[in-house]
Amino acid sequence: MASTLNSNPLRDPRDRRLPRLPDASALVVFGVTGDLSRKKLIPAVYDLANRGLLPPGFVLLGFARRDWEHGDFAQFARESAEKGARTPFRAEVWDRLESSIRFVPGSFDDDVAFDKLCATLEELDRSHGIGGNAAFYLSVPPSAFPVVLKQMQRTGLANTGGDAWRRVVIEKPFGHDLGSARELNSLVDDVFTPAGVYRIDHYLGKETVQNLFALRFANTLFEPIWNSQFVDSVQITMAEDVGIGTRAGFYDETGAARDVLQNHLLQLLALTAMEEPVSFSAETIRTEKIKVLRAVSLPDDLARYAVRGQYEQGWLAGERVAGYLDEKDIPADSRTETYAAVRLGIETRRWAGVPFYLRTGKRLPRRVTEIAIVFKKAPHLPFDQTDTAELGNNQLVIRVQPDEGVTLKFGSKVPGSAMEVRDVAMDFLFGEAFTEALPEAYERLILDVLLGDATLFPNNAEVEESWRIIDPLEEHWASTTPFRYRAGSWGPTAADEMLALDSRRWRRP
């Protein structure tokens, strides 16, 4: 009988298709009344609860400056879930969750408020049996990291006795250059062990980004041509139609390169270019990503191969939108870039000579993130030249968002013609191939933190390597003024000229 049970895959405890439930635990969110929490974290917690992926002993404990009573916070949290959740709102799920929600008001430098937070956590431990387990989410501006970490050290929040775990989740930006990232890393290391630190890069939580692992390492088709022998170049694009919204203060100090190139785009590059990991574990994947990041080189000629821009007023989706300098709270003489493009190299046997073009920008014509592998042209074409005049390079395009999927572009004979060959596309769409809707990145990442799975979180070495790449760029740009581009266009013409220098063109996604 026992053997029948064991042979049933649904009952096999190692079956990875079965959802794993985290230990009973608390998620403590610092800065819980902020934008990230309202738009992403609370909705993600609700979605996890709705999917039955939170343990029965789960509590959400919020900390923020607002002088709120429990009822105010409960209402804020409910509205956030109703508005932002991916899955349908069900009152019975929310009511259950709400009974495990608490709020402690206070500022980060207030010892009394922090002591109250500790006492509340202990109380919840007794009432909900969370066994001392807690993850602390720092949804706070980087300037507040030190004070929050020091408070956690003072109050002993980072430590527990016995088997209980304590983890910390840090939102980007992880510093603003290599020096400050190192300082931040050592600050965090003083309080938590490296295994307890989860640095969030939400792009790694996107299903389509994880699909890169499947595409590359679960198939035989692509890997043999995934190298400089066959690949001409790689283009990684993260375009946004939105402007800077209400984040003027943060954005003007940060700019596009620090905001997304240093993290999201370099992570996409690392996953695209890394070698096959020996297993699918946090340590082995990080090892391969770090190797690639270490091999990344900047061009000698930054003046030509690194372009930054700032949007001017223009039109988007039929609406007139303001230029960056006219946005609320942006200084009229700001030289912060809202667009960045750069050509990187990877000095390894696999990639030597293949340019990786990265670009990102706000107020571009549409929101699209994609990785395009552009293959070399066939070495010889046994056709009349006019027959292949319309034939481009073969391309494999991984669409991260929207229209999540993969497109293969190749040449095909035009029906009826003598032998005319033209580009056609073969499309895979997640939405058509699978019935399940794609989970939100934060859903996946919060669950992973509670499960103690660090596979999708960059470690301190990756962060520092990324700054090693970005710092010289920032230094170069510090003495320049960004090119202007019209809102609703694909960025400054200098970025097109940069590719033209290499006889290439940006894709128009």
Query: Which residues lie near ligand BG6 (CB under 6 A)?
Result: 202, 240, 259-260
- Answer for the pair 414, 383: CB distance below 8 angstroms, yes or no: no
* Structural tokens at position 167: 């983890």
Q: Which residues of 107-128 are buried (b: 16+ CB within 10 A; e: fewer)?
A: ebeeeebbeebbebbeebbeeb
Question: Which of residues 166 and 264 has its CB atom nearest to ligand BG6 in the complex?
Answer: 264
Provide the 8-state DSSP code for 37.
Answer: I
φ, ψ of residue 74 in degrees (nearest 5): -60, -40
Alpha carbons 455 and 448: distance in angstroms, whole number: 8
Q: Quick count: other Cβ atoms within 10 Å of Cβ 11?
A: 11
Distance in Å, CB of 259 to ligand BG6, minimum: 5
Q: Which residues of 432-457 are buried (b: 16+ CB within 10 A; e: fewer)?
A: eeeeeebbbbbbbbbbbbbebbbbbb
The single residue listed with the structure tokens 């989860």 is: 198
Alpha carbons 251 and 78: distance in angstroms, whole number: 29
- Answer for the pair 100, 129: CB distance below 8 angstroms, yes or no: no
For residue 204, CA distances in Å to 123, 148, 271, 340, 396 come to: 35, 25, 9, 21, 20
- The DSSP H or E segment spanning 427 is strand 421-429
Distance in Å, CB of 205 to ligand BG6, minimum: 9
Nearest residue to 174 via CA among 373, 487, 494, 463: 463
Question: Which of residues 54 and 260 has its CB atom nearest to ligand BG6 in the complex?
Answer: 260
Neighbouring residues of 509: CB distance < 8 A, sequence distance ≥ 6: 237, 239, 366, 368, 370, 397
Q: Which residues of 260-285 are buried (b: 16+ CB within 10 A; e: fewer)?
A: bbbbbbbbbbbbbbbeebeeeebeeb
Question: Which of residues 191 and 261 has its CB atom nearest to ligand BG6 in the complex?
Answer: 261
Distance in Å, CB of 83 to ligand BG6, minimum: 16
Question: Which of residues 61 and 469 has its CB atom nearest to ligand BG6 in the complex?
Answer: 469
Which residue among 128, 176, 202, 264 is the active-site one?
Answer: 264
Q: Read off the amino acid at residue 169.
A: V
Question: Which of residues 73 and 251 has its CB atom nearest to ligand BG6 in the complex?
Answer: 251
* Structural tokens at position 319: 């609406």
Distance in Å, CB of 202 to ligand BG6, minimum: 6
264 classed as catalytic:
yes
Distance in Å, CB of 118 to ligand BG6, minimum: 31
Distance in Å, CB of 173 to ligand BG6, minimum: 8
Distance in Å, CB of 251 to ligand BG6, minimum: 7
- Answer for the pair 72, 29: CB distance below 8 angstroms, yes or no: no
Greatest Cα pair distance, the chain, in angstroms, is 83
Distance in Å, CB of 243 to ligand BG6, minimum: 10
For residue 123, CA distances in Å to 45, 65, 94, 119, 128 come to: 21, 21, 22, 6, 8
Per-residue 3-state assignment (H helix, E strand, C coil) for 231-265: EEEEEEEEECCCCCCCCHHHHHHHHHHHHHHHHHH
φ, ψ of residue 78 in degrees (nearest 5): -60, -45
Distance in Å, CB of 507 to ligand BG6, minimum: 18
Question: Which of residues 102 and 206 has its CB atom nearest to ligand BG6 in the complex?
Answer: 206
Cite the active site residues.
264
